[in-house]
Amino acid sequence: DSASSTAGPLHGRHLVISAGGTREPLDPVRFLGNRSSGKQGIALARAAVAAGAQVHVVAANIDSGLAATLPPGVRITNVESTLELQTQMHAAQAEADAIIMAAAVADYRPAERTDSKMKKTGGEGVTLNLVQNPDVLVGLVESRREHQVIIGFAAETGDPHHSALDYAKAKFRRKGVDLLVFNDVSDDRAFGHDDTAVQILSADGGDVTASAEFHGSKDDVSEKLIEALVSRVECVES
Ligand code: CTP
Ligand code: CA
């Protein structure tokens, strides 16, 4: 349609981007969530449209004002929980040339969601039982279509044993992605801030290699990542 009619390197390509952060319901009014704003995913969607792509954003709890900054023609599917995100990502996968998992996904969810509001009882605390969520990204990699490019994100901190980059490299392997956007959050930089620093990890033969660190706004970083994606998509041009 009109939004992608200007030719660009991603003209005719379909991108599916998850954005925001999942919320895991406890009862009708409460959830476990995270602070992800969705700015990075939305910035990626804008950069992808600028490169000519058809974009589908699967948005987990994104502020409507932020969603309104998306260019016309971008399809949005709203989700709340990780299980909903998983369902919608798999539904969207069939049409995707590339998938970017920019959403912050809850690792655990309450084992049960009560239909009525949890009551406060007595003077005691409460213990919540949590179960592990599926790894949506790994599931997408397992059902990857031929030539589909799959990209993950990783915010890591280092510790006395391993650097943040070491952890990101291990995550790259574990996830089976084509590219991993690594964000070193050891000394604060990240959540909510407008500036960020990333390295793009990829596999070069047997080794995981990291690009030079790139600093900039989430829009700058998005442009860089879309450039990296363009070269991947071009590699598989039929
Ligand atoms: N991710 C996902 N499903 C999950 C957890 C994470 O799809 N249940 C995706 C995120 O969207 C991101 C990538 O996996 O693109 C890395 O997320 P991260 O939280 O760093 O990885 P985890 O495997 O959860 O490892 P950990 O939190 O223990 O570092
Ligand atoms: Ca996690």
Tell me if 135 is assigned to a ligand binding site. yes
For ligand 1, atom 16: residue with the closest CA: 154
Q: Please list every protein residue whose CB sits less than 6 Å from any atom of ligand 1.
A: 82, 101, 103, 105, 107, 133, 135-137, 152-154
Question: Closest ligand 1 atom, CA of 151?
Answer: 15
pLDDT of residue 186: 82
C-alpha closest to that of 72 among 10, 13, 6, 22 = 6
Work out the angle at residue 165's Cα, subtended by the Cα atoms of residues 17 and 189, and round it to the nearest 5 degrees: 65
Question: How far is Cα 166 from Cα 104, in angstroms, rounded to an integer?
Answer: 21
pLDDT of residue 56: 98
ipTM associated with this complex: 0.99
Tens of pLDDT, residue by residue, the chain (238 residues): 445 445 899 999 999 999 999 999 999 999 999 999 999 999 999 999 999 999 999 999 999 999 999 999 999 999 999 999 999 999 999 999 999 999 999 999 999 999 999 999 888 999 999 999 999 999 999 999 999 999 999 999 999 999 999 999 999 999 999 999 999 888 765 555 667 889 999 998 889 999 999 999 999 999 999 999 999 987 766 5
Helix ranges restricted to H, 21-109:
39-50, 64-67, 82-93
Furthest CA-CA distance within the chain: 66
β-bridge mates for residue 132, sequence order: 108
Q: Which residues are marked as active site?
A: 34
Find the 146 Cα to ligand 2 centroid distance in Å. Answer: 27
Alpha carbon of residue 223 to chain centroid? 16
Give the list of residues 6+ apart from residue 227 with CB closer than 8 angstroms, or none. none
C-alpha closest to that of 148 among 14, 12, 4 = 14
pLDDT of residue 86: 98
